[in-house]
Amino acid sequence: GTAAAGGASRRSASGEAGAASDAAGADPWLASSNKAQAFARAIPEAAPAVRVEAFGDPDVLSVRADAPVPVPKPGECLIRVRAVGVNPVDTYIRSGAYARLPDLPYTPGADCAGELVRAVAPEPGKAPASLMVPGTDEHGLPHWAEPGAAVFTGAAVSGSYATYAVAPLARVVPFRLRASAGRPAPGAGGAEAAAAGGAE
């Protein structure tokens, strides 16, 4: 069989069935994973991104429709960006009034949320452990954040004002709770709702 990413060999069909009963399940980021392959094939070579060609006022920001999609290195992942944060430091850097400035041209931003589309193990034989979700409210068992999982990061090294962004695996966090987890129970009054949220 062909060696899979991370040094794991391709499992047989019976082996996959046995792995499904494991607490953590199989690593969906193995090169042999059909889901990982499908997401990798869908990644374009170019996509829109904000670019800064010179430091200055906000009008130096421009959208390049065919910016190259960044390629993650070992220990990094690629995120399909759905939302970004605009921080004061982003404006300082764009204006040139910051101690550490990136080389021009560059894509601004570090914070983003979106879907995980590719993950590269830090080294052969090591899985991207930060993508392990420790538990769920359905069954409490750990599982891998699969391709397409919702994630967020504050450390996009390629810039987050873009369709795709690269970030270190160690700085990417899968969303672990469903939005319904913190909703007050039907019939709960204001005091009960406040207590459920930790207010006193």
Report pLDDT digits (tens) over 81-136: 999 999 999 999 999 999 999 999 999 999 999 999 988 877 766 666 566 665 65
Phi and psi at 86, nearest 5°, equal -105, 110
Distances (CA, A) of 87 to 110, 151, 161: 9, 19, 12
pLDDT of 197 reads 46
Topology classification of domain 5-176: Quinone Oxidoreductase; Chain A, domain 1 (3.90.180)
Position 200 confidence tier, pLDDT thresholds 50, 70, 90: very low
How many Cα atoms within 13 Å fall on the side-chain side of residue 118?
22
| Residue 45 and residue 159 in contact, taking contact as beta carbons nearer than 8 Å | no
CA 46, CA 104: separation in Å to the nearest integer?
19
Report pLDDT digits (tens) over 23-82: 334 455 555 567 777 888 889 999 999 999 999 999 999 999 999 999 999 889 999 999
Position 9 confidence tier, pLDDT thresholds 50, 70, 90: very low
| Residue 47 and residue 162 in contact, taking contact as beta carbons nearer than 8 Å | yes
Q: What is the pTM of this model?
A: 0.70
pLDDT of 102 reads 95
Q: Region 147-155: what's the mean pLDDT?
A: 89
Distances (CA, A) of 160 to 9, 31, 171: 34, 26, 14
pLDDT above 60 (res 20): no
Which helix (H) or strand (E) is 95 found in, with range?
helix 88-95
